[in-house]
Amino acid sequence: MNWMFRALIASAILALAACGGGSPGEPPLAGARIGGPFTLTDQNGKTVTDADFAGKYRIVYFGYTYCPDVCPTDLTKIGAALRVLDKQAPRTAQKIVPLFITVDPERDTPAQLKQYVANFHPRLVGLTGSPQAIAQVAKAYAVAYMKQPTPSGYLMGHTQVAYLMGPDSKPITSLPLEKDPPAIVAELEHWVR
């Protein structure tokens, strides 16, 4: 089922990118209805809202800490890209807040998130909330997810995408998670001003 979510979001992103008119200065996701207000809990147990990140570029990635492969691979790439920026372009790096929003609030407590996000980048913010709050923010970001029972419990099938959102909270582009960290760095350097 996970491949269907990936195919769906990939098709949507390609369609949205085609609507951009091909102009190199116009963000691929300009005008897309992605993003919106939220109130969640960070890995330190603090309530945060989207307004807490106003004026910052955000990398928004949805996943879960029990993910066996996709999430850790993607977050490793994002973390590596941010470490490169931290060294090569610290001013650019400081303008970016990476967010990891769980799609598994049942298991992803703030304590669980704190331990998990520390593995990828020191500025990575882990966010959780009630199932209703997570459903609302996932819908706002066009992210689908579904519990998939397994013999040992369950996995969460979910859309695989990392959005770059602007300081105005508008979507700019999706990051090339299928490529290596230098490709992500290049995309961030292109859009973050």
Per-residue pLDDT for 60 more than 70?
yes
Contacts (Cβ under 8 Å, ≥6 apart) of 139: none
Query: What is the pTM (predicted TM-score) of this model?
Result: 0.87
Predicted confidence (pLDDT) per residue in 156-190, tens digit: 999 999 999 999 999 999 999 999 999 999 999 99
Strands (E), the chain: 39-42, 47-49, 57-63, 96-102, 125-128, 145-150, 153-158, 162-165, 171-174
* Per-residue pLDDT at 25: 84
Average pLDDT value for residue range 2-19? 42
Can you list the positions of beta strands (E) in 64-185? 96-102, 125-128, 145-150, 153-158, 162-165, 171-174
Work out the average pLDDT over 65-81.
97
User: 121: annotated binding-site residue?
Assistant: no
**Phi, psi at 49, each rounded to 5°:** -125, 170
* Domains annotated on the chain, with CATH: 2-18+36-191 (3.40.30.10)
Per-residue pLDDT tens over the stretch 77-111: 999 999 999 999 999 999 999 999 999 999 999 99
Measured N-to-C along each axis, helices 181-191 and 70-88 cross at an angle, to the nearest 10 degrees, of 60
Look at residue 23 in the predicted model and tell me its pLDDT.
Answer: 39
Model confidence pLDDT, tens digit, residues 127-153: 999 999 999 999 999 999 999 999 999
